[in-house]
Copies of this chain bind each other. A is one copy, B any other.
């Protein structure tokens, strides 16, 4: 069975799936899962509902793929931050990235992982659970990174990685909520600078 990139038989697609997914991501980001209707999504994507279902499955699958794209795109600063040499640098990079991403001048304000589906009805339960897992993954990864910092002697032995990770995620989510409310980027950065002056918490 040939699995090369040779063009498959049949009529070729008339649109770029990546570009369409990017548009869908922006709609979900701005309006949330429940607030983004199929009509709004497909209009922004420039395709018909038929093409959307054929390419992405259904609304929930589209959201799942948009979240993946978000993680590897606008939210990629998280993975990069984890590779910073010290726990303080990690924390600084996480917060700086959060502020930058949640207050982009030409883009939705806030964080998809927070406002995408925080409280929903039955129809949005799948998306809500998906984001709960997404946030939990971020917390766990951060906690493990701070645990490593304790082992390395970068953080003092009495530092609690779980507490530090909860604190930093809480700060990031709080920034995301305020960004969604329209709070200015400079004001958030000034607040974050003050908060990180007390790092690490004991």
**Which residue numbers of A lie inside 8 Å of B, CB to CB?**
29-32, 34-37, 40, 108, 110, 114-116, 118-121, 123-124, 132, 135-136, 160, 162-163, 166-167, 169-178, 180-183, 187-188, 190-191, 194-195, 197-198, 201-202
In the complex, which residues of chain B have a beta carbon less than 8 angstroms from the beta carbon of A198? Answer: 198, 201
Contact of A174 with B163 at beta-carbon distance under 8 Å, contacts A194-B202, A197-B202 already known: no
In the complex, which residues of chain B have a beta carbon less than 8 angstroms from the beta carbon of A175? Answer: 170
A85 to B133, CA, bound (A): 41
Question: Quick one: copies of this chain in the complex?
Answer: 2
Prevailing SS type, chain A contact patch: helix
- B121 and A163: CB pair below 8 A? no
A187 touches which of B120, B162, B174 (Cβ 8 Å):
B162
Indicate the member of A135, A136, A181, A190 with the most B CB atoms within 10 Å. A181
- B118 and A114: CB pair below 8 A? yes
Contact of A166 with B188 at beta-carbon distance under 8 Å, contacts A30-B119, A118-B110, A171-B171 already known: yes
- A191 and B166: CB pair below 8 A? yes
Contact of A167 with B180 at beta-carbon distance under 8 Å, contacts A118-B115, A121-B34 already known: no
Smallest CB gap from A188: residue in B: B166
A166 touches which of B114, B136, B183 (Cβ 8 Å):
B183
Smallest CB gap from A29: residue in B: B119
A167 to B176, CA, bound (A): 12
In the complex, which residues of chain B have a beta carbon less than 8 angstroms from the beta carbon of A194? Answer: 160, 163, 167, 201-202
